[in-house]
Amino acid sequence: MGRQPCCDKLGVKKGPWTAEEDKKLINFILTNGHCCWRAVPKLAGLRRCGKSCRLRWTNYLRPDLKRGLLSEAEEQLVIDLHARLGNRWSKIAARLPGRTDNEIKNHWNTHIKKKLLKSGIDPVTHEPLNKPQQTPSEHDPESEVSLSSSLADHTSESPANTHQTNNTHVDEYNSSSSSPSASSSAENYCAGADESLVLLEYICGSDDQSFLMDSLWADESPAVGATTANLSPNENPSCDVAGLFPSWPEESESFSWLLGGQDYGVHDFGGFDCFGDDGAMNILDGLDLETGDKIF
DNA sequence: AATAGCAACAACCGCCGACCG
DNA sequence: ACGGTCGGCGGTTGTTGCTAT
Predicted confidence (pLDDT) per residue in A208-241, tens digit? 333 333 333 333 344 433 333 333 333 333 333 3
Q: Is nucleic acid strand B under 7 Å from A2's C-beta? A: no
State the pLDDT at residue A154.
38
Q: Are A261 and A13 in contact (CB under 8 A)?
A: no
State the pLDDT at residue A166.
36
C16 closest protein residue (CA to C1'): A265
Q: Name the nearest CA neighbour of A222 among A103, A101, A81, A89.
A: A81
More confident call, A187 vs A89 = A89
Q: Is nucleic acid strand B under 7 Å from A52's C-beta? A: yes
| Beta-carbon count within 10 A of A168 CB | 12
More confident call, A248 vs A67 = A67
Average pLDDT of chain A, as a whole number:
57
Distance of alpha carbon A200 from alpha carbon A187, whole angstroms: 15
